[in-house]
Amino acid sequence: MVIKHRGNTHKGVFYIEEGNKMLAEISYSFAGADKMLLDQTTINNELPEQNEAGSELLDALINYSRDKNIKVIPLCIIAKSIIEQNPAYRDVLFKQT
């Protein structure tokens, strides 16, 4: 499974495609220079390894946020649950003070 990334200064997406067909994606928008909103996760029912694809997309987004020193605000309920339950991801969560 190859994870691709497309983004600009306002928003981006990590995705899996086959041919020209989008099979899975996790999208984000920037909320300033040091925060990103994890907007939505979409996985096509045709993808045989849906859970694995979702995990790999989330890992790619988390690694990107770590590399760029950007905190994540998960709006997607599923991704939020996974991030909050996984201690290895908690360091990227934005904590309001």
Q: How far is CA 73 from CA 10, 53, 55, 88, 96, in A?
A: 15, 21, 17, 16, 10
39 vs 29: CA distance, rounded Å: 7
Q: Give me the pLDDT at residue 91, please.
A: 92
CATH number, domain containing residue 73: 3.40.630.30
DSSP states of the chain as a string? ---EEEE-SSEEEEEEEETTEEEEEEEEEESSSSEEEEEEEEE-TT-TTHHHHHHHHHHHHHHHHHHHT-EEEE-SHHHHHHHHH-GGGGGGB----
Number of folded domains that form the chain = 1
Question: Per-10-residue mean pLDDT for the chain, 97 residues long?
Answer: 93 93 94 94 84 89 96 91 88 85
Residue 42 lies in a domain: yes
* pLDDT tens digits, one per residue of 46-74: 877 778 888 899 999 999 999 999 999 99
Q: Would you say the pTM of this structure is higher than 0.85?
A: yes
Residue 97 lies in a domain: no
Q: Give me the pLDDT at residue 13, please.
A: 97
* Residue range of the domain that includes 76: 4-92
Cα angle: 60, vertex 38, 24; to 5 degrees:
55
Q: Give me the pLDDT at residue 49, please.
A: 79
Residue type, 11: K
